[in-house]
Amino acid sequence: MTASPLTLPGQVTAAVRVLRLDPRTKVLLVLSASAAVMAPGGERFIPAALVLGLLLALGEGAWMRVAALPLTAAVVAAVAYLLPMAAPHPAVGVIATVAAYALRFVAVAGIALHLMRTTTPTQLTAALRAARVPRAITVSAAVMLRFLPVIVTEARAVHDAMRLRGIGGWGGLLRHPVLSIERFTVPLIASSLRVAEDLSASALLRGLGSATRPTALHPPRLGVTDLVAVLVAAALITVTVLW
Amino acid sequence: MTTATPAGRRIDVRMSPKDLINIGVFGALYLVVVYAISMLGFINPPVMLVALAASIVAGGIPFTLFLTRVRHAGMVTVFGIITGGLFLLTGHPPISFAITVACALLAEVVIWAGGYRSRRLSVPAYAVYSAWYVGPMMPLFYARDDYFSSPSMQMMGTDYVNQMQALLSPGMLLAFDVSTVVFGLLGGLLGLRLTRKHFAKAGLA
């Protein structure tokens, strides 16, 4: 689908980036980090994943993340390991246990954020196609990624309208759970599907889902930087294993 | 895509572009609804569990509406792959993706049993599908020894560790899974009711 270049809020446009990785490399980094960190015994890979996330943030020039990633990890780690010592109570223990898991999540999310911030849906779709993912999945994923921002806009509008009438928010959710779900979801779905009709008619006209393989304007290419990134990741894994 | 669609229960996985668009649109709707409602819990931790349960229930509305447009095998599986795949790319554990796809395949079986026409079967289909919620929680259980064998936990004493170990027992996991399925049933019922009440009237079902 050749929709106009679509940037999610807060997304860095391609021109400012220094580090240019192929989306396939980025996906590979996220998946291998997630496979290593989330596995049983994966706690030892957390520092390596954090370092990789930090390097990617540095390469991307995302200074906010360079500061925020270690800080978040430190706070979460403190809650997980130091808080139970300060207050040995089962309720605190539950929070600490969840925090220990959240630490793994933070480590993977640091790398995932690089993927999300530097890859447009169009690039990701082209990369999935280049990786020979079946057409049914690439096309529907492309549609999903195209629609997400549209639906987020609609959701904001519905939420604003609810607030204007004094309903909604978590207070409302606690008092009338089913009713507030209905009031949020039904208008959201109805208005989104109306937009979807137009967008899908236009996408079909432009050949979405046709049997011919679409050509990408910027075809994904694996380069030297990708090799370097994979080597750095491999080095981090080796260091962790040998330590 | 020129051959006529075969009648009856033959399993046909060919997708028309319209099907793929429907999967994408409802995948996006499902994600936004689930995410928006569970986000309410992150703003306010005491509401976290309520928001989680509410997001399971709310997800039933786009899902049952999606099922009214499912006419052949494979659509729910692709739905699971793309929504689960997006979670995977944002840092969810790989096992969660595998669980999502497995739940989607089970949901396929449920709607296949209804010949892709039964609206009532969309309730158990969503309940089965929403069992994927246990996926993101899995590392809490299978990797708990990592945490409890850490030096800081050794300093906490065995009583405390045993107490926490009991809390994260497989029984707890099962209870969590059963509760997601129960909330999934509620979500399916709500989705079915709203489909009849609003969407059928508006010509969207």
- Binned at pLDDT 50, 70 and 90, residue B4 comes out as very low
Determine phi and psi for A13, rounding to 5 degrees: -75, 155
- Binned at pLDDT 50, 70 and 90, residue A4 comes out as very low
- Rounded Cα gap, residues B50 and B103, in angstroms: 23
Write out pLDDT tens, residues B26-78: 999 999 999 888 887 666 666 777 888 889 999 999 999 999 999 889 999 99
Contact B61 A185 (CB under 8 A): yes
Of the partner residues B21, B41, B54, the one whose CB lies closest to the CB of residue A181 = B54
Angle, CA of A202, A208 and A212, to the nearest 5°? 145
Domains held by chain A: number: 2
Burial of B119 (0-12, 13-18, 19+ CB in 10 A): middle
Structural domain harbouring B112 = 17-198
B9 within a domain of the structure (yes/no): no
Contact B91 A136 (CB under 8 A): no
**Helix, strand, coil percentages in chain A from 3-state DSSP, rounded to 5:** 75, 0, 25
Q: What is the pLDDT of residue B37?
A: 85
B183 within a domain of the structure (yes/no): yes
- Rounded Cα gap, residues A137 and A124, in angstroms: 12
A29 within a domain of the structure (yes/no): yes
A14 within a domain of the structure (yes/no): no
Last residue of a domain, one of A65, A88, A119: A119
Last residue of a domain, one of A92, A119, A146: A119
Q: Minimal CA–CA distance to B186: which of A186, A182, A178, A172?
A: A178
User: Are A77 and A155 in a shared domain?
Assistant: no
Output the six-digit token pair for A43.
């706690």
User: Are A113 and A138 in a shared domain?
Assistant: no
User: Are A109 and A27 in a shared domain?
Assistant: yes
A1 within a domain of the structure (yes/no): no
Q: What is the pLDDT of residue B113?
A: 92
A38 within a domain of the structure (yes/no): yes
- Binned at pLDDT 50, 70 and 90, residue A7 comes out as very low
Least trusted range by pLDDT, from A53-67, B60-74, B148-162, B165-179: B148-162
The three-state secondary structure class of B8 is coil
Last residue of a domain, one of A95, A119, A143: A119
A70 within a domain of the structure (yes/no): yes
Q: How far is A170 from chain B (nearest CA, A)?
A: 6
The answer, yes or no, to whether residue A168 has pLDDT greater than 70, is no
Query: Which 180-239 residues of chain A touch chain B by CB within 8 A?
Result: 181-182, 184-186, 188-190, 192-193, 196, 200, 203-204, 208-211
Evaluated on CA atoms B132, B133, B134, B137, the torsion sign reads positive
Characterize A112-131 residue by residue with b for buried, 16 or more Cβ atoms within 10 angstroms of its Cβ, and e for exposed: bbbbbbbbbbbbbbbbbbbe
User: Are A114 and A180 in a shared domain?
Assistant: no
- Rounded Cα gap, residues B165 and B148, in angstroms: 8
Residue, of A33 and A88, whose pLDDT is higher: A33
Q: What is the pLDDT of residue B6?
A: 45
* Cβ atoms B157, B95 nearer than 8 A: no
* Cβ atoms A21, A229 nearer than 8 A: yes
- Rounded Cα gap, residues A75 and B168, in angstroms: 23
Contact A30 B142 (CB under 8 A): no
A225 within a domain of the structure (yes/no): no
Q: What is the pLDDT of residue B2?
A: 41
Of the partner residues B57, B95, B204, the one whose CB lies closest to the CB of residue A193 = B204
User: Are A102 and A187 in a shared domain?
Assistant: no
Is B176 an interface residue toward A (CB < 8 Å)? no
- Rounded Cα gap, residues B93 and A146, in angstroms: 24
Give A191's contacts (C-beta < 8 A, 6+ positions apart). Answer: A154, A157, A158
- Binned at pLDDT 50, 70 and 90, residue A173 comes out as confident
B137 within a domain of the structure (yes/no): yes
The answer, yes or no, to whether residue B189 has pLDDT greater than 70, is yes
User: Are A111 and A161 in a shared domain?
Assistant: no
Is B68 an interface residue toward A (CB < 8 Å)? no
The span from the first CA to the last CA of chain B, in angstroms, equals 25
Determine the average pLDDT of the residues in A206-226: 82
- Rounded Cα gap, residues A41 and B163, in angstroms: 21
Q: What is the pLDDT of residue A169?
A: 67
A190 within a domain of the structure (yes/no): yes
Least trusted range by pLDDT, from A137-151, B24-38, B168-182: B168-182
Contact A173 B40 (CB under 8 A): yes
Please tell me what DSSP assigns to residue B71.
-
B203 within a domain of the structure (yes/no): no
User: Are A71 and A32 in a shared domain?
Assistant: yes
| Share of residues in chain B with pLDDT > 90 (%) | 48
* Average pLDDT, rounded, for chain B: 86
Determine the average pLDDT of the residues in B192-202: 89
User: Are A156 and A114 in a shared domain?
Assistant: no
B191 within a domain of the structure (yes/no): yes
- Chain A positions touching B18 (Cβ under 8 A) are 200, 204
The answer, yes or no, to whether residue A5 has pLDDT greater than 90, is no
Domains held by chain B: number: 1
* Cβ atoms A190, B67 nearer than 8 A: no
The span from the first CA to the last CA of chain A, in angstroms, equals 47
Is A75 an interface residue toward B (CB < 8 Å)? no
Structural domain harbouring A171 = 134-206
Give B88's contacts (C-beta < 8 A, 6+ positions apart). Answer: A30, A31, A34, B94, B96, B97
Is B202 an interface residue toward A (CB < 8 Å)? yes
ipTM: 0.86
